[in-house]
Amino acid sequence: MKKLHLISLLLPLLALLVMPTTVQANIVLNPGFETADGGGAQNWFNWYNPANGVSQQRVTGVFLSGAASANTKLTGTSGYTIGGWGQELTGWSAGQTLNASLWTKVVVTGDAYAQLKLEIIKPSGNADVWGPSTASTSWTKLEQSYLIPSDTTQIKLLAVHVASVGANNGDIWFDDANAAIPEPTSMLLLGTGLIGLFTLGRKKIK
């Protein structure tokens, strides 16, 4: 009777061994722009179109966390200007869901806004996956999820500063970028403990 009672207690716990669990692993390198590389940030590249009137640098005076962030300032005199920070992502596989996010803060002196973007490189044709945007003067989190197509060869995460008209179209700061890939985790430690309890219980019953 005691043996059956012990087994009935342990079986629900042992069932946890087969329950799916996941963790979110951030595959962005230097996500908080903490490590400098000259005037920029290590692992990040700058990009802009057109090149006229764009200032981009790693700064330490404004940040969400840590001690640094990435700043983009557009000072073009006319026309559409877009620029920002980007990083090629590694550590992903086709078929996975990529959960991307970053924090941004905007000081608007025109029509500037910040936006999250994923650039998907594929033999069948590249795709720009635009995420949410904001012009908030408070730190705001932008996030989106994307199922990686089977023929994807390269993925870039882009922190985008957009302005369409006029001069001095704002300062934008980016911080705490994240590109999370769900990964299955093991219940090995729990299982080992439960097996140990089960063995101990059998010895005591005998």
Enumerate domains of the chain plus CATH numbers: 22-182 (2.60.120.260)
Mean pLDDT, to the nearest integer, of 3-7?
52
pLDDT band at 190 (very low <50, low <70, confident <90, very high): very low
Mean pLDDT, to the nearest integer, of 50-75?
87
Assign 3-state DSSP to the chain and report helix, strand, coil percentages, each to 5.
15, 45, 35
Which has more confidence, 108 or 138? 138
Does pLDDT of 22 surpass 50? yes
- Model confidence pLDDT, tens digit, residues 110-121: 778 999 999 999
Secondary structure (3-state) at 197: helix
Q: Give the burial class of 19: count Cβ atoms within 10 A of its Cβ; 0-12 exposed, 13-18 middle, 19 or more buried.
A: exposed
Q: Say which residues have a Cβ less than 8 Å from residue 18's Cβ, sequence separation at least 6.
A: none
Q: Are 108 and 73 in contact (CB under 8 A)?
A: no
Look over the chain and give the mean of its residue pLDDT values, rounded to a whole number: 81
Say what the pLDDT of residue 34 is: 98
CA distances from 133 to 71, 103, 130, 142, 146 (A): 16, 11, 9, 7, 16
Q: What pTM did the predictor assign?
A: 0.78
Token match 């008209």: residue?
A: 165
Q: Are 171 and 107 in contact (CB under 8 A)?
A: yes
Does pLDDT of 40 surpass 50? yes
Nearest to 54 by CA among 142, 162, 153: 162
Q: Which of 53-57, 60-64, 119-123, 144-148 has the lowest mean pLDDT?
A: 53-57
Does pLDDT of 135 surpass 60? yes
Q: Element (H or E) spanning 125, and its range?
A: none
